[in-house]
Amino acid sequence: MRRVHVWIGRAGVVAFLLTGQYMDRWLGHLAGVADLPRMLYRSAHIYLLLGSLLNLVLGLYHVEPGEGWRRWVGRTGSILIATAPVLFLMAFAREPLRNDFNRPFAGPGIYACAFGAVMLAIARGGLKGTPKEVPYAADDVETR
């Protein structure tokens, strides 16, 4: 699952850079855009960076939890976090076109990040301290 997080993180950072270029070049750096769509574009853009960096860090440093229910909770948390950048990219593409504050993609993406992080903390035994030995996960991840 770590490699999946790294690739999602990398793709999300590229998507973040591309959405920034879209706002700058095609939307004229959002000059003249109404306040609501401008806020929705910018917030979804930043949320995309949040979800992507969260996946990237998780892919580099995550250690699979033990057996049983901890493994299930940890994997569910990982899946939630992995879905967040996709939801944020959908939020960027769709939500500014709406005429209301309804956030059908960004809201679930934010909750996915929050609940996923809490589930991973629970799977690791809470926040009682650091594990005795945590291998550096970047050694397992392909760097090219």
> Is 55 part of any domain?
yes
pLDDT of residue 89: 97
- Residue 11, pLDDT above cutoff 80: yes
> Is 135 part of any domain?
no
- Based on the structure, what is the number of domains in the chain? 1
Q: Which residues of 78-94 are buried (b: 16+ CB within 10 A; e: fewer)?
A: bebbbbbbbbbbbbbee
- Residue 144, pLDDT above cutoff 50: no
> Is 143 part of any domain?
no
- Helices 35-61, 2-21: axis angle to 10 degrees equals 150
| Weakest-pLDDT range from 48-52, 83-87, 136-140 | 136-140
> Is 132 part of any domain?
no
Range of the domain at 108: 2-127
> Is 140 part of any domain?
no
Q: Among 111, 91, 82, 105, which residue's Cα sits nearest to residue 41? A: 91
> Is 89 part of any domain?
yes
- Cα gap 108→85, rounded to integer Å: 11
> Is 134 part of any domain?
no
Mean pLDDT, rounded, for 85-101: 93
pTM, to two decimals: 0.84
- Helices 69-94, 35-61: axis angle to 10 degrees equals 150
Greatest mean pLDDT among 3-17, 94-108, 123-137:
3-17
Q: Among 6, 83, 77, which residue's Cα sits nearest to residue 47? A: 83
Mean of the per-residue pLDDT values of the chain:
88
Per the model's pLDDT, the better-predicted residue between 29 and 85 turns out to be: 85
pLDDT of residue 1: 85
- Cα gap 132→1, rounded to integer Å: 22
> Is 97 part of any domain?
yes
